[in-house]
Amino acid sequence: MATLRIYRCECGYEVQTEPTGHYGLFAGEFYNFRCAKCKEIVSISADDLAEQRYLPTCPECGAMNEEIHNWNPIEGRCPKCGKEMKEVPGMVIMAD
């Protein structure tokens, strides 16, 4: 089970995730990455990471290598503008 929160930047970009940047569901474990090419936060399953030999590829644009990096809302910044993302109070979703 995961407790997903919404994190939003003042530019309007938002993402729904766990504070640690990874979460587990019945569908498997997922990790967040920031893509420098398409400027999105993407979730990649542990199974997909293993298939990619732990060299993640962005599922949105196909970027790889230096263009995709681990990301979490506590240490990470907005992929669009680089500013700090803040948790939206009261926005919690329980997911299985």
Question: Which pTM value belongs to this model?
Answer: 0.86
Query: Is residue 67 within 8 Å of residue 35, measured between CB atoms?
Result: yes
Q: What is the pLDDT of residue 23?
A: 78
Q: Report CA dihedral (29, 88, 70, 75) to the nearest 10 degrees.
A: -130
Structural domain including 84 reads 2-95
pLDDT tens, the chain, 96 aa long: 677 889 999 999 999 888 888 877 767 899 999 999 999 999 999 999 999 999 999 999 999 988 999 999 989 999 999 999 999 998 676 655
- Nearest Cα residue to 93 out of 16, 13, 32, 14: 16
| Three-state SS letters, the chain | CEEEEEEECCCCCEEEECCCCEEEECCEEEEEEEECCCCEEEEEEHHHHHHCCCCCECCCCCCEHHHEEECCCCCCECCCCCCECEEEEEEEEEEC
Number of structural domains the chain divides into: 1
